[in-house]
């Protein structure tokens, strides 16, 4: 868990330019477009890269197998903490690959947000949401949902009493 979740604006895992899963802070609406432009321009010949401009730090961790772990954070977030976020995401992907199954097949020709539901618990861990049960209410922390709100059953999917304060 990071020390101050409000310092993390955005983080994702991408394969090439396809975002496999992401966390978006509610305080930064529209930051996904900035993030996508950054991912499209991932610096070549680097395994880790960090750049600060306009009080935001853009941090990349790049694997040889075309996975890009990316974060946008406030400049006051310590570099080791932002790299911890990316390494935690890397570890989650390595675990999915090691476990095999359909997730590995999904990564051969990935589609946008194909791993979102698998990685929502990891994003919750990173920002410190402690109620990591079967139905995470990630709306609280701004992660895109794989299930549309309209399709939720209010009696089954109720989140009353389960919200954690950040």
Q: In this predicted model, what pLDDT tens digit does every residue of 7-52 receive, in sequence order?
A: 999 999 999 999 999 999 998 889 999 999 999 999 888 999 999 9
Mean pLDDT of 87-102: 90
**Assigned token pair, 159:** 């989140």
Per-residue model confidence (pLDDT) at position 29: 87
**Assigned token pair, 131:** 């109620």
CA distances from 21 to 10, 17, 24, 75, 135 (A): 11, 12, 10, 23, 17
Q: 131: Cβ–Cβ under 8 A, 6 or more apart, which residues?
A: 137, 162, 163, 164
Q: 45: Cβ–Cβ under 8 A, 6 or more apart, which residues?
A: none
Residue bearing the bigger pLDDT, 163 or 29: 29
> Where exactly are the structural domains of the chain?
7-151
pTM: 0.78
CATH class in words for 7-151: alpha beta
């Amino acid at each position: 868990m990071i020390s101050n979740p409000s310092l993390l604006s955005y983080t994702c895992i991408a394969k090439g330019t396809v975002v496999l899963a992401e966390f978006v802070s509610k305080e930064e609406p529209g930051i996904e477009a900035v993030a996508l432009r950054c991912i499209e321009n991932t610096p070549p010949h680097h395994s880790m890269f960090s750049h600060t401009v306009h009080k935001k730090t853009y941090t990349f961790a790049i694997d040889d197998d075309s996975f890009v772990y990316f974060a946008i954070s406030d400049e006051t977030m310590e570099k080791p903490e932002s790299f911890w976020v990316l390494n935690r995401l890397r570890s989650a992907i390595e675990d999915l690959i090691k476990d095999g199954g359909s997730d590995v097949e999904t990564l051969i020709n990935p589609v946008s947000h194909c791993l979102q539901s698998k990685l929502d618990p990891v994003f919750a861990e990173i920002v410190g949401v402690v109620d990591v049960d079967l139905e995470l209410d990630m709306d609280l922390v701004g992660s895109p949902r794989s299930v549309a709100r309209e399709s939720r059953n209010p009696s089954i999917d109720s989140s009353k009493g389960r919200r954690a304060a950040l």
